[in-house]
Chain A
């Protein structure tokens, strides 16, 4: 694939919670993200949508420096990620870890505080208390001592959310927090995201369910290796953009509904 010349690339927006320019990632020569420019708005919940293999998870990982970049710039409030680690929280996909690991729900939530504790620091009673408060926020205080493998999928997802809350960050990056959870958990997670947003935090969520994007989110970034569209949900999820992003993979009958919902 050949990069198209981008003569009018605007400068990084230092006020944007997340601003990327020409972000490019490849796995084994196959492009996963190509020349992405994006400025996250300061207010409102943001959904990252796109078909499978569109580079949605890679976008979050590239932002955090977890995958090598072929090129491009990532800035958090105008600064490199390395200087802003304590301001970003990350919720990986639930399947990315082994839930048989010998740890309690509280242990996992406390991991969100490790960055603040720093190298060689000890996890103290004060940290455990903070972790327990975050578990309580997601309704799991009673499960603090339970081994994480004995929690349901929805509870595991909420443990991850509590861990991100413990990080007390400015920018939250979440990879499919709604995947495979029950309806009650979905509502609980959404309520937490709305709270974060109201508290002035930026929340960027990879979301796979097009039916609920317009209902849950204010902004959307539509990806398919390249940026297909972004803006308010209504603008970004136009029938035209969705057709470009999903191609034949989305039944055309679905499109007008979505566009109207947006």
Chain B
């Protein structure tokens, strides 16, 4: 049994950070998945890498604001490049996006390798796969720390950044829910009614980049895409209402974050093996497992329910023929 102090020092911050990372991405992911632009999340999580590295180079510190700014600049550059290549090269958007995000990611990796040799440095491994295990709450020494301002002031920086960004994303979605619904469903009508779809889309790209950066430190740039897609896609299987879908996706994201970490940290221990697994990877596995379960067992959209509906209508047809 682990002590309260160890739990608050090691496990609690990592769990909360993982859950918040998944939550921030999933909230945005709902709208990306519905527009069939889920890969924008993937593209953004990759293109922000050079922005983050350059911001780190310029400032010499890993801190939220410059990293976010660097990432947003990179995201906007990428959005511009994708549009330019699409128009000038007469390429379909998917191909244009593929070219831009792989090249920018490659640039990020190259820059990242050169960022070593300083006191502080960005770790390639962590940038790609995340470093939830490195999220420690040094000031915690018991449950009392949860209400102790001086201990709370020492909460890990990643966790605080993520909490702020998640709160902002959540607030934006609540405030602009009507506009997001309209632009996602029918961008032409949205523009005709005076909600210019291209501005909303640009804002969406910026918010997607912000979510990608916030989650980047926790789960790395490669696994972020699972957070963008799995919880909303799972939620979509279980409801036909957008509001319910967004709430469910939030629930699944938090669930995947918490369970994923628990399985990674303690899962092997339950089988008597004294080792742990990569937490970010496990979160993605849990999120994907949820989606598989929903695809199989969803009451309306699931494979089994649809099979049953087909068989029932076939039986009815047979019965009618015999009658």
A positions within 8 Å CB-CB of B: 28, 61, 64-66, 82, 85-86, 88, 90, 92, 96-98, 101-104, 107-108, 111, 114-115, 117, 119-123, 147, 163, 167
Minimal Cβ-Cβ distance residue in A for B186: A97
Contacting pair A101 B184 (CB below 8 A): yes
On whether the beta carbons of A111 and B191 are closer than 8 Å, the reply is no
Alpha-carbon gap, A85 to B189, bound state (A): 11
Instruction: Tell which of B178, B193, B194 touches A123, judged by Cβ atoms closer than 8 Å.
Output: B178
Among B237-245, B261-269, B285-293, B309-317, the stretch in contact with A = B237-245
- A64-B188, A167-B193 are known; give 14 further A-B pairs, CB within 8 A: A28-B90, A64-B191, A66-B191, A82-B194, A102-B242, A103-B240, A107-B181, A111-B186, A114-B178, A114-B179, A114-B195, A117-B178, A120-B175, A121-B178
Residues of B that sit less than 8 Å from A by CB: 34, 36, 90, 175-176, 178-179, 181-182, 184-186, 188-195, 236, 239-242, 244-245
**Residues of B contacting A92 with CB < 8 Å?**
186, 188-189
Q: Report how far A92 CA is from B182 CA in the complex, Å.
A: 14
- A97: which B residues are within 8 A, CB to CB? 185-186
A121 vs B90: C-alpha distance in the bound complex, in angstroms? 40
Are the CB atoms of A85 and B193 closer together than 8 Å? yes
Ordered by A's residue number, 22 sampled pairs between the chains whose C-beta atoms are within 8 Å are A28-B90, A64-B191, A66-B188, A86-B194, A88-B192, A90-B192, A92-B188, A96-B188, A97-B186, A98-B34, A101-B242, A102-B34, A102-B239, A102-B244, A103-B181, A107-B242, A111-B185, A115-B194, A117-B178, A119-B195, A121-B178, A123-B178
Q: Are A96 and B186 in contact (CB under 8 A)?
A: yes
In the assembled complex, which residues on chain B have CB atoms less than 8 Å from the CB atom of A163? 189
**In the A-B complex, the 7 residue pairs with the closest CB atoms:** A115-B193, A147-B240, A85-B194, A90-B192, A64-B192, A102-B242, A102-B240
Cβ contacts under 8 Å, A85 to chain B: 192-194
Q: Which of A66, A82, A102 is B245 in contact with, Cβ under 8 Å?
A: A102
Residue of A nearest to B175 (CB): A120
**Chain A residue nearest in CB terms to B300:** A147
Residue of A nearest to B242 (CB): A102
Is A114's CB under 8 angstroms from B185's CB? no
A90 to B188, CA, bound (A): 9
The residue that A114 contacts in the complex, of B36, B90, B182, B242, with Cβ under 8 A, is B182
Give B302 Cβ to nearest chain A Cβ, in Å.
15
Which one of B190, B193, B240 has the greatest number of beta carbons of chain A within 10 Å?
B193
Q: Are A101 and B185 in contact (CB under 8 A)?
A: yes
Greatest chain A CB density within 10 A among B178, B190, B191, B236 is at B178
Q: Which residues in B have their C-beta under 8 angstroms from that of A147?
A: 240
Q: How far is the CA of A179 from the CA of B24 in the complex (A)?
A: 42
Contact B34 A101 (CB under 8 A): yes
Cα A64 to Cα B90 in complex, Å, equals: 26
**B-side contacts of A86, CB under 8 Å:** 194
Question: Of A96, A98, A104, A111, which is within 8 A of B182 by CB?
Answer: A111
Q: How far is the CB of A76 from chain B (nearest CB, A)?
A: 12
Question: Closest CB of chain A to B214's CB: distance in Å?
Answer: 25
Report A-chain residues with C-beta under 8 Å of the C-beta of B181. 103, 107, 111
Task: Tell whether, in the assembled complex, residue A120 and residue B176 are in contact, meaning their CB atoms are under 8 Å apart.
Answer: yes
A64 cross-chain contacts in B, Cβ below 8 A: 188, 191-192
CB distance from A155 to the nearest CB of B (A): 16
Which residues of chain B come closer than 8 Å to A117, judged between CB atoms? 178
Taking the closest CB of chain B, its distance from the CB of A243, in whole angstroms, is 33
CA A102 to CA B193, docked complex, whole Å: 21
Across the interface, which residues of A come within 8 angstroms of B176, CB to CB? 120
Task: Name the distance in Å between B61's Cβ and chain A's nearest Cβ.
Answer: 37
Whether A90 contacts B184 by the Cβ 8 Å rule is no
**How many angstroms from the CA of A123 to the CA of B243 in the assembled complex?**
13
Give the CA-CA distance A130 to B191 in the complex, in Å.
22
Shortest beta-carbon distance from B105 to chain A in Å: 29
The one of B184, B189, B191, B242 in contact with A65, judged by C-beta atoms closer than 8 angstroms, is B191
CB pair B188 A61 closer than 8 Å: yes
| Chain A residues, CB < 8 A from B186 | 92, 96-97, 111
CA of A102 to CA of B175, assembled, Å: 19
- Contact flag A102-B241 (CB < 8 Å), given A114-B182, A117-B178: yes
Measured CB to CB, the nearest residue on chain A to B236 is: A102
- Chain B residues lying within 8 Å of A111, measured Cβ to Cβ, are 181-182, 185-186, 189
- Find out whether the CB atom of B179 lies under 8 angstroms from the CB atom of A119: yes
Given contacts A114-B178, A114-B195, A122-B178, are A90 and B189 in contact (CB under 8 A)?
yes
Complex Cα–Cα for A103 and B244 (A): 11
Q: Which residues of A contact B184 (CB under 8 A)?
A: 101
Report yes or no: A98 in contact with B188, Cβ–Cβ below 8 A. Answer: no
Instruction: Kindly name the residue among B175, B189, B195, B241 whose own CB sees the greatest number of chain A CB atoms within 10 A.
Output: B189
Chain A residue with the shortest CB-CB distance to B194: A85
B185 touches A103 (CB 8 A): yes
